[in-house]
Amino acid sequence: MTRWKAVRLVAVREVVERLRSKAFVLSSAVSLVVVLVLAVLPGVLGDDDPQVHDVVVAGDGAAALVAVLDGIGATPGGDGVEAGLVDDAAEAERLVRDGEVDVAVVGGELVVRDDVDDALALLLQEAHRQVAGAAALAEAGVSGDVAARALAPAPLERRVLEPVDEDDTDREALVFVGTVLLYGQLVGFGYWVASGVVEEKSSRVVEVLLAKVDPRQVLAGKILGIGLLGFVQLVGFVALGLGAAAAAGSVELPPETVRVAAEVLAWFVLGFAFYAALFAAGGALASRAEELQSTTGPLTFVGLGSFFAAVAAVGDPSGVVARVATFLPPAAPMVLPIRSAAGELPLVELLGGVALVLVAVVAVVRLAARVYQGGALHLRGQLRLRDALRMGRG
């Protein structure tokens, strides 16, 4: 059969086998739940709609205090305040005790059942000062506009030197979530490639495959099939996550959302080719599933270090860590989308980072093909990399 037909058949087999795997289906379901929780939870926890505090006032100066509270209308925290008059202190205390109002102002005291909101208490104290001040000025013969200006001067205007762009904040949140997804897909599906290699070795299926198909074609089909699953799953996670986040009000989708999502997906393709080839080599060095942790452990740490570099780039996309990681092939697929979304990626650095990743992909694919060719039929014990390379020369 032709080379492409062999690769395609192996890829289709990988897709079918993974979809039949209970472990794959379960891990996909768990990942989807995690994505949806992360998308919805901020909107649920961040639901801070203002509430209305009910206040009653009794005693001397009650009408003036109610008028001041009505004029202010809301606490410093944004909650509304509705104030009303009652006939006497006993009635005010009853309303507080029965939970019908939040607080009562009686005879210079704040009467509460157990506690009072700090912002509401601050507002009531300020209103009391204004009423008491107005009374004192009236006794001194000062009233009208002069008293009003003295008690309620114009508020200080706010001048922000470095205003926060809400779009930038939402963009950072989207990029961070995209980075987490990208890291999970690259390392997770890379491990699926390694475990698939070991499964075929332990079940002796690889012997049947290699009797008909060249080892490099088997490896290419395996990476293509599992990579296709990872890509489709990532598209689904991104679409469902963005939809859930928008519906829950967790984030306002900035105009660059589609571009950022497209860049994350594009970098998955390059990043997966890099990581999957290395994980395939790690799988070829092992003959049992128990040995995978040893042969793929260093790759997992490389991926984790790259993820930490991406996290650092979220906070400082033009910093030293982000710029250095741009030119490191393991980290570039996670760092470059972040810098691009932040507008901190010069064209020369983008081209340089992409070029290095492409060169690295070619190099690791050739290395992995040689290791796989040398280790695919090694079924007894863990194989050393040097020995696999030697055996794969032919």
For residue range 329-343, list pLDDT tens digits in order. Answer: 999 999 998 888 888
Angle of CA points 21, 274, 348, to nearest 5°: 140
- H-helix or E-strand spanning residue 169: helix 166-202
For residue 1, give every residue at least 6 positions away whose Cβ sits within 8 Å of its Cβ, in sequence order, or none.
9
What's the rounded mean pLDDT across residues 183-188?
90
Please state the domain count of the chain. 2
Query: For residue 274, what are the CA distances in angstroms to 229, 266, 288?
Result: 16, 13, 23
Whether 314 maps to a domain, the answer reads yes
pLDDT-derived band of residue 23, with 50, 70 and 90 as boundaries?
Answer: confident
Mark whether 31 and 76 lie in a shared domain.
Answer: no
Question: CATH number, domain at 131?
Answer: 3.40.190
- 318 and 181 fall within a common domain: yes
Name the residue among 226, 217, 216, 224 with its Cα closest to residue 192: 226
> Percent of the chain scored above 70 by pLDDT?
87
Tens of pLDDT, residues 243-299: 887 777 766 777 777 888 888 889 999 999 999 999 998 888 888 888 888 888 899
Element of type H or E holding 81: strand 80-85
Amino acid code (one letter) for 293: Q
Q: Pick the last residue of a domain from 89, 116, 151.
A: 151
pLDDT value for 212: 79
> Over the stretch 128-173, which tens digit does the pLDDT of each residue have?
887 777 777 776 776 656 665 665 655 556 656 556 565 666 677 7
From CA 150, how far away is CA 171, in angstroms rounded?
A: 45
Helices 347-375 and 332-341 pack at an angle, to 10 degrees, of 160
How many residues are there in the chain? Answer: 394
- Please determine, for residue 231, whether its predicted confidence score (pLDDT) is greater than 60: yes
Structural domain boundaries, residue 359: 3-44+166-391
Q: Which residue has the higher pLDDT, 51 or 318?
A: 318
Is the pLDDT reported for residue 71 higher than 70?
yes
Do 320 and 182 share a structural domain? yes
**Same-domain status, 139 and 180:** no
pLDDT, one tens digit per residue, over 314-332 is 888 889 999 999 999 999 9
pLDDT at residue 348, rounded to an integer: 94
- Do the Cβ atoms of 378 and 365 come closer than 8 Å? no
Tell me the three state secondary structure of residue 109.
Answer: strand
Token pair 């810098």 is at which residue?
339
Check whether residue 96 and residue 190 sit in a common domain.
no
Query: Model confidence at 303, in pLDDT bands (50, 70, 90)?
Result: very high
Mean of pLDDT over the chain? 83
